[in-house]
Amino acid sequence: MLPDGAEDRLLSNADQLANVCRENNVQQWDIIGFQAYGHQLDIEAGKITMAGGGGEGGFGIRVVEDGRFGFAHLVDVSGAERAVQQALSIARKSPKIAGFLLPSEQEAQDVPGRFDAEILNVHPEDLLEQADGVLSAVKGLDERAIVTGGGVGVSATAACFMTSEGILSTGITTSHGIGLQVTIDVDGELTSSYQGQSSRTKMEDVPSCVERAVHWAQVTQNPLRVESGAEEAPVLFTSEGFSPLFSMVVPPALTGEKMVRNESFWSEKMEQQVLHESLSITDNGLLAGGMASGSRDGEGVPRRTQQLIENGRLVKTLWSTRDAAQQVAEGRIDAASSTGSAVSGGHQSPPSTGCTELFLTSSKKGKSWDELLQQMGDGYVVNGVMGAHTANPSSGDFSVTTSSILKVEGGEIIGPLKQAGLSGNLARSLCESVELGVDVRRQGSYSSGSMHLPDVLLSYGLRINPA
Amino acid sequence: MVMASKRGEAHTPSTGRYLETERVREALEAATDYGATYAEVRVVSLTESTVAMRDGQLERAIPGQELGMTLRVLANGSWGVHSTTDLASLNDQIESTTRLAKAVASRRAKGERPIGLAEVPIFEDEHHWKSTLDVRHTELDAKIEHMNDLYRGATGHDDIVSVRTGWSDEHIHTELMTTEGMDRVWSFQRSLIHGMVTARRNGEVVSYRTRHGGQGGLEVIQACDLVELGEQAQKAALRLLEAERAPSGKMPLIADKDLTGVYIHEALGHPCEADLVAAGDSCLDGKLGHKIGNELVTVVDDPTMMGGYGAYPIDDEGVNTRPKVLIKNGVLTEYLNHRETAHHFDVDPNGGARAQDGLHHPLVRMSNTMIHGGKHKDMDALMEDIEYGVYACGTRGGQVDTGRGSFQFAAQEAWLIENGELTRPLKDVSVSGLTLEILKNVDGLTRDASLASPGFCGKGQTVPVGDGGPVMRIREALVG
């Protein structure tokens, strides 16, 4: 999959760009380059409909002169001179950030488990075999179930990061992913469930998400007939149901910049209780095998593991070098420095600030699924919501629609609802009694990084409106 | 490895070609020799610029030049696709991509239909929608000036804690060559300005988003009174600080043009996408010719609507565009199609194929989607007989489960309607429902229909879209 010498050629092209920066006497610069190769299959209507592959990549150049920065991106390095000139021209029009300097070289720790040579040897024919296996497994689990959408894919990405300050980092990461929408249609009563899974290493042929997709399409069949009417009720979110809301609301609130600009619902609450005292949040930028972890952040600063909320108390926020310098220069905070939290979204944009591998944990013993149901008593189980992206990250308020919801009475699941409105304020609900499950699963996110979340029982402040 | 363009200049004029036509013809002929029944090469060059400012200060300006190419091969009734930034590698990929398509085909079960393509007219031509003020010649200073107009309107109140403004423009140049002899080149531009106003009072933080944009160059932005746009956003953010949590339950709903647009995009547009219908993932499967909505409802998807953010001159399979009447007087009349689904349903393609860029293959997508105007004079006329309901405006986005036909969309702000009058401001209003129920519940539309704020639609790939309509009344909707 990965052409011979891909990493070397990427580095050679980055060198060309660096030389253009040097020839133009750019004070400081950093260059990020990616080249990704992969194979993927699309599945629709219960069959493989397309096989694809290819390679794509490009370069981003950031220049800094007297605290002013400019950026440009390109695919073809023959356009390097123009890109550097554009970036310089923008830098000269940008406001000066006193004290903003690109970071110098610091020793960084290797993060294992982000590359699997086995993935390099996965051919399209192997993916076809895997997809056949998944389709068969779905049929084996439920003859009525059809995979109406999704696919499988593998990729290998060569990346390089090079700066005027002597940082040089290169490497190859791999990934293997699957996503599938499973639908069951019985006499026009259609239920469906989307589940996905990804890994830096080669996954088993039929990963656990396949069974989960079929399960949720099955258990939401034959919805109960209920009266419409809003009620406050506890909700047991599965990890998959909780992740979209959590990732939309919590990670943005933890960035230092939003905090000092009063744009976070946790602004002015440093060292105060912001979550239930049993809860902690940790960002593990060094997680072995992580999808977003790594040795260095998007500015070359070593990544680290850092506790952001400890026993409910807000103790730390996330910073990139640039954000920290800017907020200090503009007087919103006396001192701030990079926490190794610059996140690169690819070659087309300069780094922003974000989390990498966010863990929600509890000091209380994790509960099994049955124990969580028993504790809830009467309430609802939610495995999927529509419209999580409409949640308000400034306030934590959300108003969404469930796509998979079960009604629970006396700790027993009595059946699904067709759909229901679900609203509340996530930050406030997390301040009250919260119980976590034992099984932590990694979820992708809308914003940045990965969310490592168990099942979560929220008991207060949620309003359910069955339809 | 990375892009090996034959051209030295990063910016190729819209009348120039990225594809070496003779070489591509050879490659396409080779695909036929390897057994392809159809093959195409599509290259897209994007010359783009984004700018971000906060509180009147430049945060970042990013000029960029992206180039991507997708080779798509149909062999034995299945697709093989290769996407790359390396145009020079095309000829090396023909055999393997054709082989890939055949490998997929070999797994087709007995009785499963092979993929076919509906016939289309073959053109060798160029179409360039010229902007009055070309985005490629718009200086950064001009962009900053316009963004500052928006900022000036939005700032200036103690409770406004920040005003973010953004700019995005792009010149899209596409070339398509196929084994059928299609050789088309087209280009057009889009421009967008947006703002996010954040207000805070007594620990309560709210934000309000505003957007203006469309197909075209700087003239699109110049046509808008940006100071006024900013002022409206400021007022809305301050209103949200005082807004109450919305009531919950089934009740009458009036949606402004923005929200009407998102509603029709989510609730009807997506289920009308024929690739989803063919995959068994649409609640509108088998409903062509059926009455699915109130007879007031007529819905059109129209990529030819110049100025709309979802406009395009030619679709990404080289098919000429035309307006598509999806619903006429409540009756479902047409799906959105590309060539594959048109063949599947034995109809003519209607120009609905769109790809995010040169590195993605075309899917069935919407363009500018609108409900036609109705008979009510204005919003007061829609509201006068509502005892208790909600008027919701602006959009925070939406989502749909096309198979189940359930959807959700969220408003930026709202008011309670009591006895025909707007009374108290509300916040965090979302609306959900079932497509096949709620289209029948539309019981009032104002006369004036137009496109509202520009938007983006995600379906694995992100494409710009326009949505809109008149002010709409829904007899009963689930408000949360």
Give yes or no: residues B83 and B151 share one domain. Answer: yes
Q: What is the spatial distance between Cα B365 and Cα B414, in angstroms, rounded to a whole number? A: 30
Positions in chain B whose pLDDT score sits under 70? 1-15
What's the token pair of residue B298?
Answer: 């007529």
Look at residue B5 and tell me if it is in a domain. Answer: no
Residue-wise pLDDT for A221-241, tens only, equals 999 998 878 899 999 999 999
Tell me which residue in A82, A90, A395 faces B205 most closely, judged by beta carbons.
A395
Contacts of B115 in chain A (CB under 8 A): 49
C-beta atoms of A228 and B10 within 8 A:
no
Give yes or no: residues B236 and B257 share one domain. Answer: no
Tell me which residue in B64, B115, B249 faces A72 most closely, judged by beta carbons.
B64
Contacts of B205 in chain A (CB under 8 A): 262-265, 267, 394-395
Q: A85, A226, A401: which to substitute to probe chain B, counting the most B Cβ within 10 Å?
A: A401
Q: What is the spatial distance between Cα A71 and Cα B446, in angstroms, rounded to a whole number? A: 47
Give yes or no: residues B206 and B114 share one domain. Answer: yes
Contacts of A125 in chain B (CB under 8 A): 103
| Partner A, chain B 425-454, Cβ-Cβ below 8 Å | 427-430, 432-433
CB B445 within 8 A of CB B264: no
Contacts of A59 in chain B (CB under 8 A): 2
| Partner A, chain B 295-324, Cβ-Cβ below 8 Å | none
Query: B86 CB near a chain A CB, below 8 Å?
Result: yes
Contacts of B62 in chain A (CB under 8 A): 71-73, 348-350
Contacts of residue B313, defined as CB under 8 A and 6 or more positions apart, other chains included, come to B127, B129, B186, B188, B321
Residue A367 distance to chain B (closest CA, Å)? 31
Query: B199 CB near a chain A CB, below 8 Å?
Result: no
Tell me which residue in A51, A350, A386 faces B408 most closely, judged by beta carbons.
A386
Residue-wise pLDDT for B14-58, tens only, equals 447 999 999 999 999 999 999 999 999 999 999 999 999 999 999
Give yes or no: residues B257 and B301 share one domain. Answer: yes
Search chain B and give the residue with CA nearest A78: B8
What's the token pair of residue B318?
Answer: 């080289």
Domain with residue B209: its CATH number is: 3.30.2290.10
Contacts of residue B272, defined as CB under 8 A and 6 or more positions apart, other chains included, come to B282, B284, B301, B326, B332, B334, B335, B336
Look at residue B10 and tell me if it is in a domain. Answer: no
Helix ranges restricted to H, B198-273: 218-222, 226-242, 257-263
Search chain A and give the residue with CA nearest B396: A390
Q: Domain limits at B420?
A: 245-479
Contacts of A86 in chain B (CB under 8 A): 63
Contacts of B61 in chain A (CB under 8 A): 70-71, 90, 93-94
Tell me which residue in B63, B64, B104 faces A50 most closely, judged by beta carbons.
B104
Q: What pLDDT is attached to residue B2?
A: 30
CB B181 within 8 A of CB B25: no
Query: B5 CB near a chain A CB, below 8 Å?
Result: yes
CB B230 within 8 A of CB B195: yes
Residue A78 distance to chain B (closest CA, Å)? 6
Residue-wise pLDDT for A262-278, tens only, equals 889 999 999 999 999 99
C-beta atoms of A399 and B409 within 8 A:
no
Q: Give the model's confidence band at A414: pLDDT under 50 very low, under 70 low, under 90 confident, else very high.
A: very high
CB B1 within 8 A of CB A6: yes
Contacts of A129 in chain B (CB under 8 A): none
Amino acid identity, position B260: T
Torsion of the alpha carbons at A25, A26, A28 and A30, rounded to the nearest 10? -120
Q: What is the spatial distance between Cα A192 and Cα B401, in angstroms, rounded to a whole number? A: 9
Tell me which residue in A52, A73, A75 faces B83 most closely, judged by beta carbons.
A52
Amino acid identity, position A385: V
C-beta atoms of A94 and B432 within 8 A:
no
Residues, chain B, total? Answer: 480
Q: Where in chain A do CATH 3.30.2290.10 domains reside?
A: 6-219
Q: DSSP secondary-structure letter at B273? A: B
Q: Which residues pair with B191 in a beta bridge?
A: B169, B214
Query: B16 CB near a chain A CB, below 8 Å?
Result: no
Integer-rounded Cα Rg, in Å, for chain B is 24
| Partner A, chain B 99-158, Cβ-Cβ below 8 Å | 100-101, 103-104, 107-109, 112, 115, 140-141, 144
Residue A96 distance to chain B (closest CA, Å)? 10
Which pTM was predicted? 0.92
Give yes or no: residues B306 and B209 share one domain. Answer: no
Reference A182, options A224, A153, A211; nearest CA is A211
Search chain B and give the residue with CA nearest A191: B404
Q: What is the spatial distance between Cα A87 and Cα A81, in angstroms, rounded to a whole number? A: 10
Look at residue B14 and tell me if it is in a domain. Answer: no
Neighbours of A311 (CB within 10 A): 15
**Geometric angle at alpha carbon B51, from B48 and B55, rounded to 5°:** 170
CB A353 within 8 A of CB A317: no
Contacts of B410 in chain A (CB under 8 A): 387, 390, 399-400
Three-class secondary structure of residue A27 per DSSP: coil
Give yes or no: residues B396 and B426 share one domain. Answer: yes
Reference B138, options B58, B37, B53, B218; nearest CA is B218
Give yes or no: residues B221 and B298 share one domain. Answer: no
Reference B106, options B132, B148, B75; nearest CA is B75
C-beta atoms of B84 and A419 within 8 A:
no
Contacts of A387 in chain B (CB under 8 A): 397-399, 408-410, 430, 432
Tell me which residue in A3, A128, A421 faces B432 most closely, judged by beta carbons.
A421
Q: DSSP secondary-structure letter at A2? A: P
Give yes or no: residues B174 and B163 share one domain. Answer: yes
Q: Which residue among B192, B207, B242 closes a domain?
A: B242
Contacts of B84 in chain A (CB under 8 A): 54-56
Give, for B12, the enclosing helix (H) or strand (E): none
Q: What is the spatial distance between Cα B155 and Cα B227, in angstroms, rounded to a whole number? A: 10
Reference B264, options B300, B295, B296; nearest CA is B300
Q: Which residue among B185, B213, B242 closes a domain?
A: B242
- The residue ranges of DSSP E strands in B249-329, in sequence order, are 249-255, 299-301, 324-328
Q: For chain B, report the end-to-end CA distance as a whole number of angstroms.
A: 51
Provide the number of structural domains found in chain B.
2
Q: B50, B62, B161: which to substitute to probe chain A, counting the most A Cβ within 10 Å?
A: B62
**Geometric angle at alpha carbon A297, from A15 and B196, rounded to 5°:** 105
- The residue ranges of DSSP E strands in A23-103, in sequence order, are 28-44, 47-65, 68-74
Diameter over CA atoms, chain A: 73
Give yes or no: residues B40 and B183 share one domain. Answer: yes
- The residue ranges of DSSP E strands in A229-268, in sequence order, are 231-232, 235-237
C-beta atoms of B249 and A228 within 8 A:
yes
**What percent of chain A lies above the pLDDT cut of 70?**
99
Search chain A and give the residue with CA nearest B479: A421
Contacts of A419 in chain B (CB under 8 A): 404, 406, 432
Integer-rounded Cα Rg, in Å, for chain A is 24
CB B252 within 8 A of CB B476: yes
What's the token pair of residue A203?
Answer: 């996954």
Task: Say yes or no to pLDDT of A446 above 60.
Answer: no
Look at residue B263 and tell me if it is in a domain. Answer: yes
Three-class secondary structure of residue B206 per DSSP: strand
CA distances from B276 to A35, A230, B159, B291 (A): 32, 33, 46, 20
Q: Which residue among B242, B269, B287 closes a domain?
A: B242
Give yes or no: residues B266 and B393 share one domain. Answer: yes
DSSP states along B277-323: HHTT--TTTT-TTSB-S-TT--EEE-TT-TTSTT--SB-TTSPBP--
Contacts of A58 in chain B (CB under 8 A): 2-3, 66, 85
CB pairs under 8 A between A and B: 282
Tell me which residue in A6, A52, A86 faces B81 most closely, judged by beta carbons.
A52
Q: What is the spatial distance between Cα A166 and Cα B150, in angstroms, rounded to a whole number? A: 41
For domain A6-219, the CATH architecture is: 2-Layer Sandwich (3.30)
Amino acid identity, position A467: A
- The residue ranges of DSSP E strands in A11-164, in sequence order, are 28-44, 47-65, 68-74, 145-163
Residue A38 distance to chain B (closest CA, Å)? 10
Alpha-carbon dihedral sign for residues A9, A15, A17, A23:
negative
Tokens 């409909």 correspond to A49
Question: Which ipTM was obtained for this model?
Answer: 0.89
Tell me which residue in A44, A263, A390 faces B205 most closely, judged by beta carbons.
A263
CB B428 within 8 A of CB A422: no
Residue B240 distance to chain A (closest CA, Å)? 11
Give, for A448, the enclosing helix (H) or strand (E): none
Mean pLDDT to the nearest integer, A58-87: 94
Give yes or no: residues B286 and B154 share one domain. Answer: no
C-beta atoms of A421 and B104 within 8 A:
no
Q: What is the spatial distance between Cα B75 and Cα A168, in angstroms, rounded to a whole number? A: 45
Tell me which residue in B79, B101, B428 faces A423 most closely, judged by beta carbons.
B428
Buried-exposed string A448-465: b where 16+ CB fall within 10 A, e elsewhere: bbbbbbbbbbbbebbbbb
Q: What pLDDT is attached to residue A448?
A: 67
Task: Say yes or no to pLDDT of A64 above 70.
Answer: yes
Q: What is the spatial distance between Cα B72 and Cα B36, in angstroms, rounded to a whole number? A: 10
C-beta atoms of A467 and B82 within 8 A:
no
CB B473 within 8 A of CB B296: no
CB B8 within 8 A of CB A78: yes
Task: Say yes or no to pLDDT of A27 above 90.
Answer: yes
Residue B8 distance to chain A (closest CA, Å)? 6
Look at residue B11 and tell me if it is in a domain. Answer: no
Three-class secondary structure of residue B216 per DSSP: coil
